[in-house]
């Protein structure tokens, strides 16, 4: 029988999935009043942002390169002219690669005909990043995928250049370093379908930054799938005629030691608070052109800075209370290095909003803008702020027939459009945490700054020669800048008076999320998805219990804005206790589902296994030094049998209170909540193995 209290909540709040769909909710957000929305819509310019992208595209701004610094200097000049202060380009130690500058590179077919195959000046990505200088004329041989010894059967590649569909790093290992080939010509790409959909696309890929002692300096040219096919035809014809095919490669590059990277930094100072910065990030590194990834993000945060400063100077909005920082890093590496060198700075940053690939013309490549929430290891009000504002933009820039019949202006009720942009709808989704950009760093447990992100996916153009201005839409640049700017301004100004509004929003959205998790838990029991009824029940119950803890923590994150001991703080704590009070009713729903399915008289009682008891007795803590932590652990967290984000979350849940078993349960619930399709499966064995490995590396220690 359903618990009466939870039944009432389900009825009134629609926790069983009968919540009002977003399209039927008012097209507004409490975090951006309509007057402010109009002011920002009029000031933020997608056309200006597009022009900043245009200025960036000529720079082959590879991490650690001189061109990166030149691009940063160019943006720094614009930032200063717009009124940002403390604008500076800062050089750092770089452990993620080498400081490499391409000078020139050409690849020619010289026999049986003379045909230019690649030229760095024409297509910058045709020279694989970190390729070393080389001047060779040699026979070309086709080794196909170059992934197995059989690919080399009957082929003597020593002293020759190999043609392959494999990534250059694999071909260099198998053909150059193991079999004596001179270099590589590759048609590899991270977009396998491009050989059909975009056969002239050239991939942007690296060769190894270092080489084993005594091995040849690596180099590779990148060509399109069409060129690969044409060269294969030439090779087949030459073979039938008993002739060889030769290519000539001329490459000039420079390597600078020690390796350095750089970042660009600027600020809009707050009027009151200077130790709770709101940090907008957009990584500056990428290949020449690279308009969406991430010229778009770089341009958008610059435009946000310009627009906010212009509105403040014009008296249209007050100066934000907190400092807003604009940070253009070398993706991931700059932030990790910065925090390793300045660990106390983690205490001066309140929130991160990351923009990466925010200018896609969405009708090209079926691209969708993802609004990414914080991971479950760092629940935060910030996720609901960005979600609410994003929903406002999505719904007011999507057409509805019923709205037209109601007399609401259509196709968009509150259009956010650029003069030279498209009139496409805003195709965006709010999604659970996803990695792959700079917000990852902020969300590390050792750094502990909630970070959200705007990133489009899928994208069949990024990291290729096709990521260029024709694929950029000034309208989408404007919409994403609007979302990020609105969120940044709200958080920058939030205080005790805003706490009730935040508490209402986080609380009501928490109830919706709990409803979805309850739905998942009930389906887990009904489908016996853990293999048997009892285990399915325990996993479902764990999901609900972890979800309750997550939502309590999200509510308590609001207390940063509340006066200690005040009425607003009391309201937040009251709402958190209400969430906790839902536990008996939610568990009763699971009990009822289990009993109905199994025919038993009572739910199964927990009976910890010896392994669970052992894991429950071990409580890991992080070592004290942030620098040593990342030096020993590394920046990646991959572990066999775990989705990389779930491996990261194993570290994320290490807080000195949770045991090995608690961490396993937290990560398992997070994966179950999002779905196996999203985060894969989480096993106790994999989590235990990862944590024990971290203990062995002195990344963690036992309490």
- Whole-number pLDDT of residue 12: 39
pLDDT, residue 150, reads: 77
Q: Is 501 found in the same domain as 550?
A: yes
Give 87-132 pLDDT, tens digit per residue. 999 999 999 999 999 999 999 999 999 999 999 999 999 999 999 9
* Site of tokens 């309590």: 552
Q: Give yes or no for residue 3 having a pLDDT over 60.
A: no
Q: Pick from 256, 278, 294: which residue ends a domain?
A: 256
Report pLDDT for 25.
60
Q: What is the pLDDT of residues 5-28, one digit of tens each?
A: 444 444 334 444 333 344 446 689
| Residue 141 to residue 162: CA distance in whole angstroms | 5
> Do 460 and 564 fall into the same domain?
no
| Segment 185-196 mean pLDDT | 93
Give the tokens for residue 306: 């310009």
Same domain, 54 and 150: no
Same structural domain for residues 70 and 109? no
Report the 10 Å Cβ neighbour count for 655.
16
CA distance 132 to 125: 15
In DSSP terms, 264 is beta-bridged to 89, 328
Total domains in the chain come to: 4
Mean pLDDT score, 272-279 = 98
The predicted-structure confidence for 303-352, as pLDDT tens digits, reads as follows 999 999 999 999 999 999 999 999 999 999 999 999 999 999 999 999 99
Residue 242 is encoded by which pair of tokens?
């008993």
H or E, element range at 533: helix 533-556
Both 16 and 53 in one domain: the answer is: no
pTM of the model: 0.95
pLDDT in tens, 503-547: 999 999 999 999 999 999 999 999 999 999 999 999 999 999 999
Distance CA 92, CA 258 (A): 10
Yes or no: say if 429 and 368 are a contact pair by the CB < 8 Å rule: yes
Q: What are phi and psi of 93, to 5 degrees?
A: -60, 145
The average confidence (pLDDT) of the chain is: 95
For residue 63, pLDDT over 90 is answered with: yes
Is there a single domain that holds both residue 290 and residue 434? yes
Write the CA distances from 592 to 516, 530, 533, 588, 597, integer angstroms: 18, 18, 13, 6, 9
Per-residue pLDDT band for 4 (boundaries 50, 70, 90) equals very low
The crossing angle, in degrees rounded to 10, of helices 66-81 and 46-56 is: 150
**Both 362 and 460 in a single domain?**
yes
Alpha carbons 286 and 62: distance in angstroms, whole number: 5
Question: What is the gyration radius of the CA atoms in the chain, in angstroms?
Answer: 27
| pLDDT given at position 501 | 97
Up-side HSE of residue 678: CA atoms within 13 Å toward CB? 13
Angle CA 333–336–340, to nearest 5 = 135
Helix, strand, coil percentages for the chain (3-state, nearest 5): 45, 20, 35
168-179 as b/e: b if 16+ CB within 10 A = bbbbbbbbbbeb
Whether the CA torsion 15, 17, 18, 19 is positive or negative: it is positive
Find the domain containing 445 and state its range: 31-97+260-493
Distance of alpha carbon 23 from alpha carbon 26, whole angstroms: 8
- Give the whole-number percent of the chain exceeding pLDDT 70: 96
Side-chain half-sphere of 112: how many Cα atoms within 13 Å? 12
Query: What CATH number does the domain containing 298 carry?
Result: 3.40.630.10
For residues 523 and 290, give the distance between their C-alpha atoms in angstroms, rounded to a whole number.
Answer: 44
Q: How many residues in the chain?
A: 703
- Let me know whether 230 and 322 are in one domain: no
19 secondary structure, DSSP code = S
Tokens 């400081």 -> residue: 99
CATH number at residue 218: 3.50.30.30
Structure-block tokens of residue 475? 């309208």
Q: Per the structure block, which two tokens stand in for 433?
A: 């945490």
- How many CA atoms lie less than 13 Å away from 565 in the CB half-sphere? 0
The reply to whether 623 and 673 lie within a common domain is yes
Instruction: Report the distance separating Cα 653 and Cα 620, nearest Å.
Output: 10
Residue at which a domain ends, from 456, 476, 493: 493
Going from the C-alpha of 411 to that of each of 29, 32, 405, the distances in angstroms are 20, 22, 12
**Residues facing residue 185 across a β-bridge:** 163, 221
Domain check: are 507 and 598 in the same one?
A: yes
Structure tokens at 674: 């999002």
**For residue 482, what are its two tokens?**
């609007």
Contacts of 429 (CB under 8 A, 6+ apart): 368, 369, 370, 371
Of 223, 256, 289, which residue constitutes the final position of a domain?
256
First CA to last CA across the chain, in angstroms?
A: 42
Got the DSSP string for 544-588? HHHHHHHHHHHHHGGGGGSPTTSHHHHHHHHHHHHHHHTHHHHHH
- Specify whether 522 is located in the same domain as 434: no
Percentage with pLDDT > 90 across the chain: 93
Spatial distance between the Cα atoms of 249 and 219, rounded to a whole number of angstroms: 10
For residues 54 and 72, membership in a common domain is answered with: yes
């Amino acid at each position: 029988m359903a618990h009466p209290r939870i039944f009432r909540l389900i009825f009134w709040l629609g926790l069983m999935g009968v919540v009002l769909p977003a399209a039927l909710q008012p097209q507004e957000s409490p975090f951006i009043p309509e007057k402010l929305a109009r002011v920002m819509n009029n000031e933020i310019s997608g056309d200006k942002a597009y022009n900043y992208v245009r200025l960036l595209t000529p720079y082959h701004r590879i991490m650690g390169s001189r061109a990166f610094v030149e691009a940063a200097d160019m943006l720094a000049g614009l930032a200063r002219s717009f009124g940002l202060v403390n604008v500076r380009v800062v050089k750092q130690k770089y452990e993620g690669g080498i400081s490499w500058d391409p000078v020139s590179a050409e690849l020619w077919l010289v026999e049986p005909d003379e045909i230019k195959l690649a030229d760095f000046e024409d297509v910058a990505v045709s020279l694989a990043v970190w390729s070393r200088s080389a001047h060779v004329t040699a026979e070309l041989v086709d080794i196909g995928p170059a992934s197995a010894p059989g690919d080399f059967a009957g082929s003597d590649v020593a002293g020759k250049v190999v043609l392959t569909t494999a990534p250059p790093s694999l071909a260099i290992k198998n053909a150059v370093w193991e079999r004596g080939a001179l270099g590589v010509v590759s048609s590899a790409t991270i977009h396998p379908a491009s050989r059909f959909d975009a056969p002239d696309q050239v991939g942007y890929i690296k060769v190894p930054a270092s080489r084993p002692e005594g091995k040849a300096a690596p180099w590779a040219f990148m060509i399109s799938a069409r060129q690969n096919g044409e060269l294969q035809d030439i090779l087949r014809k030459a073979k039938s005629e008993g002739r060889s095919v030769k290519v000539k490669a001329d490459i000039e590059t420079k390597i600078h030691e020690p390796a350095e990277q750089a970042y660009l930094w600027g600020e809009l100072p707050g009027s009151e608070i200077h130790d709770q910065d709101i940090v907008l990030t957009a990584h500056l590194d990428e290949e020449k052109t690279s308009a969406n990834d991430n010229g778009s993000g770089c341009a958008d945060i610059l435009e946000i800075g310009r627009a906010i400063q212009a509105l403040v100077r014009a008296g249209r909005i007050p100066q934000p209370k907190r400092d807003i920082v604009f940070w253009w890093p070398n993706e991931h590496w700059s932030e990790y290095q910065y925090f390793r060198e300045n660990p106390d700075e983690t205490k001066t940053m309140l929130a991160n909003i990351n923009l990466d690939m925010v200018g896609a013309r969405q009708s090209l490549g079926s691209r969708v803008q993802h609004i990414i929430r914080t991971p479950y290891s760092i629940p935060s009000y910030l996720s609901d702020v960005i979600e609410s504002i994003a929903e406002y933009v999505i719904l007011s820039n999507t057409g509805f027939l019923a709205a037209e019949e109601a007399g609401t202006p259509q196709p968009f009720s509150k259009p956010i459009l650029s003069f030279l942009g498209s009139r496409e709808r805003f195709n965006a989704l709010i999604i659970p945490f996803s990695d792959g950009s700079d917000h990852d760093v902020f969300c590390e447990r050792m750094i502990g700054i909630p970070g959200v992100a705007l990133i489009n996916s899928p994208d069949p153009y990024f990291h290729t020669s096709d990521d260029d201005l024709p694929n950029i839409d000034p309208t989408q640049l404007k919409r994403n800048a609007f979302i990020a700017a609105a969120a940044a301004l709200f958080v920058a100004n939030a205080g005790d008076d805003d706490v009730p509004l935040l508490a209402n929003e986080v609380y009501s959205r928490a109830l919706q999320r709990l409803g979805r998790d309850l739905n998942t838990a009930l389906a887990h029991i009904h489908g016996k998805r853990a293999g048997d009824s009892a285990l399915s029940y325990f996993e479902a119950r764990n999901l609900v219990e972890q979800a309750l803890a997550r939502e309590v923590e999200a509510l308590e994150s609001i207390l940063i804005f509340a006066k200690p001991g005040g009425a607003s703080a009391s309201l937040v704590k009251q709402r958190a206790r209400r969430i906790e009070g839902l536990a008996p009713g939610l568990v009763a729903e699971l009990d009822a589902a289990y009993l109905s399915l199994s025919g038993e008289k009572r739910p199964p009682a927990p009976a910890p296994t010896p392994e669970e008891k052992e894991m429950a007795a071990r409580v890991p803590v992080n070592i004290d030094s942030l620098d040593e932590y990342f030096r020993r652990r590394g920046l990646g967290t991959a572990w066999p049998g775990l989705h990389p984000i779930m491996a990261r979350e194993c570290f994320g849940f290490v807080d000195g209170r949770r045991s090995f078993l608690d961490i396993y349960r937290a990560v398992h619930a997070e994966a179950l909540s999002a779905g196996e399709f999203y985060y894969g499966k989480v096993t106790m064995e994999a989590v235990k193995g990862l944590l024990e490995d971290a203990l062995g590396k002195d990344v963690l220690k036992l309490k």
